[in-house]
Amino acid sequence: MEMIICKDASALGRQAGIAAGEVIRNAIKTKDHASVILATGASQFETLKQLITEKNIDWSKVTMFHLDEYIGLPETHEASFRKYLKERFLDKVGPLGAVYLINGETNPQQECDRLNAVIRQYNIDLALVGIGENGHLAFNDPPADFDIEDPFIIVTLDEPCRHQQMNEGWFKKLEEVPERAISMSVKQILKSAAIICSVPDERKALAVKNTIEQPVSNLFPASILKTHSGCILFLDNNSAASLS
């Protein structure tokens, strides 16, 4: 894993978005197609803002998968990750070759089965991810399951994770935050040829410190990224503040 520290969230997002664009262009150039996984949340604002401005990407040759989604939350809700991706990415770029969003309003196991059957047909070129305040990767809260083979799984969100969603302004009170979600598994994320992890903000500083300085452990789920040779971790001065 490579680590790059930027001065602020804007610079972080700009560099991460440029790097993501380069991976996508190279995949299309090499094999005439790119498969990507996109994350959501506050950590991805600036990265996606840059990515949608990247030039010379034929989006009709790109297939997009969605990292995670709440179970039971309507798409009209402000916290819906489907809504997030449509408004901040899909509506801003040319039509993609294929888009596989997670529908959290249907039977969750059937939705996992549907998505698992599709993603197994692809070799993923790029995953955009973040790190949660509790160190989670996607919605794989500690202790995360590093061994499950299924690409998409049903997870229960721990209280620190749910507090983060509320504190970021997606929900007005903790009781509104769903307790379950569909998440891409850790093993599936690690199958991506390239991983770009964007982590701005001082509130992520402890999670970053644990990710970098603790041993690889499911108690610090994002620490597994250290085992991936194609991962770049983009930090800003605030999120890197607690590093030794």
Tens of pLDDT, residue by residue over 206-230, are 999 999 999 999 999 999 999 999 9
CATH number of 2-234: 3.40.50.1360
* Amino acid 196: pLDDT: 98
Q: What pLDDT digit, counting tens, does each position of 116-170 carry? A: 999 999 999 999 999 999 999 999 999 999 999 999 999 999 999 999 999 999 9
C-beta separation of 81 from 102 below 8 A: yes
Average pLDDT score, the chain: 97
- Beta strand spans in the chain (E): 2-6, 34-38, 62-66, 68-70, 98-100, 126-129, 152-156, 180-184, 194-199, 231-236
* Amino acid 144: pLDDT: 98
Long-range CB contacts (within 8 A, 24+) of 53-56? 53/17, 54/17, 54/18, 54/20, 54/21, 54/24, 54/25, 55/21, 56/25
Using DSSP's 3-state secondary structure scheme, residue 243 falls into coil
* Amino acid 188: pLDDT: 98
Q: What pLDDT digit, counting tens, does each position of 181-190 carry? A: 999 999 999 9
Does 94 have pLDDT greater than 90? no
* Amino acid 219: pLDDT: 97
Q: What pLDDT digit, counting tens, does each position of 189-204 carry? A: 999 999 999 999 999 9
Rounded distance between C-alpha atoms, residue 124 and residue 201, angstroms:
28
Kindly give the residue spans of alpha helices, DSSP state H, lying in 102-174: 108-119, 159-167
State the average pLDDT over residues 49-61: 97
C-beta separation of 196 from 228 below 8 A: no
Using DSSP's 3-state secondary structure scheme, residue 196 falls into strand
Percent of the chain with pLDDT over 70: 100
What six digits make up the tokens of 242? 């607690």
* Amino acid 84: pLDDT: 96
